Chains A and B, each alone.
Chain A
Amino acid sequence: MCGLCGIFGDSRHWSDEIVRDGDSVPVWQRRRERQHRITLINKILTPYRVTVADWQGEKLVVRGPTGRCELAETVGDLWQKAEIAAGRPLDPLDAQFLEAPDGT
């Protein structure tokens, strides 16, 4: 899968893979992992005033500071949609991002 668009082949993103010992992961655990991930995404996007919410366990609703909404299929296209919603680029190596207080 491509980190740029996330849609080579199927709609699964590589980071959706739940890294646990054993073959099967129960549904409740998948839901909990998904919620955990959304919590982290919201912490990452706080400086950009962008929020993300789950939609039916299938998509992500990305909402910007002006109320603009975007739907993301997977984490693969989340960042592009978050940039559109924020109206500015996201860069994990940007000094401003690195200097921002953790999780605020």
Chain B
Amino acid sequence: MEPEAGPLPLIVLTGFLGSGKTTLLRRLLASTEFHDAAVLINEFGAVGLDHLIVRNLTDSAVLLQSGCVCCSIRGDLSEALMQLLTQRDRGEIPRFGRVIIETTGLADPSPILATLMCHPALRHHLRLAKVAATVDAVLGEANLDRHPELIKQIAAADHLILTKMDLASRESSERLRRRLSALNPAAAIDQAIYGRVDPSLIARLGARSAPTMVVAGEEASASFAPTHQRPAGQPVSSFVITLSEPVDWAAFGLWLSLLAYKHGAALLRVKGILRVVGSDLPVLIHGVQHLIHLPEHLSAWPSEDRSSHVVFIALGLERQAVERSLRKFLRLENPALRGAA
């Protein structure tokens, strides 16, 4: 690899919960342009999963465990970046040529950008190359109305990638495109169909060009206030349900479909890795609000842990009720589990 002259380019990949950030990240990491990328992943959840999903693509994936980048761990972010750079210089990890930060779906990216630009050491080693934001073409308009975080993400982006175009109608995607253009006229708007993006987008994201946006440090620093409390008073809760026994797929699918039908608006994100009866390999599930994606088979377990973990990010749903409900459905298939909490 050619030695990098000057600061390494850094891409911030943001986008609302379930809008396809990790899918895009996997595409990028599988491309030749990004073969030399180190990745920092931040998730707002008790148990992070995204780093497991991308681990087989890069040895340099790090999960920031302590919560949301946007309001609590700017220190954690700068420390993680400094640690990556130090390990790179010592030869402890591959000599990466660029860095990607995947933010939590709830992050306001401006404090992250401020950290990168204002940190006394980082600003000499890293430079912001791009801010890319994924926007769900199906739910984007509704999310814009409900979630101010999304507006901040769109406003900060150099590239907006409309995802799930295969699921959206032409009219609604055009309406969303116009709205995004109005919100951020300077951003390029691309699209992803079935998770695939135009190769030229990958090339443009991978181009080691100068940053295309400038955020005034003081303005960015002024917006550090937590954004997880909804204006209507409903808190965003995050919890994980762990199941040690293999789950019956039919019972789980019926439960999740009914939960999404009845409480989809409150179900900001559901993501899980499942150990399913009849399969030795894990199954990955993704969902956002009413939308649940086809389950995905993974080729191997990411760790020795063979339990199922399902992470929920929800508005006003109580963990206890959700877990009781799931276990009740699973007992329908296996009465032997009766008595389990």
Is B216 interfacial (CB 8 A cutoff)?
no
Residues of chain B within 8 A of A20, CB atoms compared = 278-279
Asked if A44 is an interface residue, CB under 8 A from chain B, the answer is yes
Q: A2-B290, A14-B293, A103-B335 are in contact. Are A19 and B258 (CB under 8 A)?
A: no
The interface residues of chain A lying within 8 Å CB-to-CB of B263 are: 93
Q: Which residues of A contact B166 (CB under 8 A)?
A: 9
B36-44, B92-100, B207-215, B318-326 - interface stretch: B318-326
Residue in A17, A40, A93, A102 whose Cβ sees the most chain B Cβ within 10 Å? A93
Most buried by A among B251, B256, B324, B332: B332
- A43 interface hit (Cβ, 8 Å): yes
Binary contact track A1-15/B, C-beta < 8 Å → 1, others 0: 111100011000111
Contact indicator B321/A98 (Cβ below 8 Å): yes
Contact B328 A98 (CB under 8 A): yes
* A68: chain B residues within 8 A (beta carbon): none
Contact, CB under 8 Å: A14 / B253: yes
Known contacts being A17-B295, A40-B332, is A90 close to B253, with CB within 8 Å? no
A76 at the interface (CB under 8 A from B): yes
Q: Note all chain A residues with C-beta closer than 8 A to B281.
A: 21
In the bound assembly, the distance between CA atoms of A15 and B321 in angstroms comes to 22
The answer to whether A80 and B279 touch across the interface, beta carbons within 8 angstroms, is no
* Beta-carbon contact of A43 and B332 below 8 Å: yes
- Grouping DSSP codes into helix (H, G, I), strand (E, B) and loop, the B interface class, with mixed when no group exceeds half, is helix
Q: Is B201 interfacial (CB 8 A cutoff)?
A: no
Contact indicator A19/B249 (Cβ below 8 Å): yes
CA–CA, A33 and B253, complex, Å:
12
Contact among A15, A33, A44 with B332 in the assembled complex (CB-CB below 8 Å):
A44
Contact check, A102 vs B328: say whether CB atoms are below 8 A apart: yes
For B, the interface residue count at a CB cutoff of 8 angstroms equals 46
**B254 x A3 contact (CB < 8 A):** no
Partner of B253, one of A15, A91, A93, A103: A15
A82 to chain B, nearest CB (A): 9
Q: How large is the interface on A (under 10, 10 to 19, 20 to 34, 35 or more residues)?
A: 35 or more
Known: A2-B290, A3-B260, A14-B293. A92 touches B253 (CB 8 A): no
Give chain B nearest CB distance to A89 CB in angstroms.
8
- Which chain B residues in 235-277 approach chain A with CB under 8 Å? 249-251, 253-264, 274, 276
Q: How far is the CA of A80 from the CA of B295 in the complex (A)?
A: 23
Contact A90 B280 (CB under 8 A): no
Contact of B255 with A14 in the complex, beta carbons under 8 Å: no
Q: Are B258 and A90 in contact (CB under 8 A)?
A: yes
Asked if B295 and A19 make an inter-chain contact with CB atoms under 8 angstroms apart, the answer reads yes
Q: B266-307: which residues lie under 8 A (CB-CB) from chain A?
A: 274, 276, 278-281, 283, 287, 290-295, 297
Q: Which single member of B259, B279, B280, B292 contacts A14 (CB below 8 Å)? A: B292
Query: Which chain B positions have C-beta within 8 A of A33?
Result: 250
The answer to whether the Cβ of A36 comes within 8 Å of any Cβ in the partner chain is: yes
Which among B317, B333, B338 is the interface contact of A40 at CB below 8 angstroms? B333
- Whether A4 and B260, one on each chain, are in contact in the complex, defined by CB atoms closer than 8 angstroms, is yes
Tell me the bound Cα distance from A80 to B167 in angstroms.
21
Residue among B138, B293, B294 facing the most chain A CB atoms (10 A cut-off): B294
Chain A residues lying within 8 Å of B249, measured Cβ to Cβ, are 15, 18-19
B224 sits at the interface (CB 8 A): no
Contact of B329 among A13, A19, A21, A92 (CB under 8 A): A92
Q: List 12 A-B contacts (CB under 8 A).
A: A1-B291, A2-B291, A14-B295, A21-B297, A37-B254, A40-B250, A75-B253, A75-B254, A93-B262, A93-B263, A93-B322, A97-B325
Known: A40-B250, A102-B331. 18 other contacts (CB 8 A): A1-B167, A2-B138, A3-B292, A8-B291, A13-B257, A15-B250, A15-B257, A19-B278, A19-B279, A37-B250, A40-B254, A41-B254, A44-B258, A76-B257, A92-B255, A92-B258, A92-B329, A102-B328
Chain A interface residues (CB < 8 Å from chain B):
1-4, 8-9, 13-15, 17-21, 33, 36-37, 40-41, 43-44, 75-76, 78-80, 89-93, 97-98, 102-103
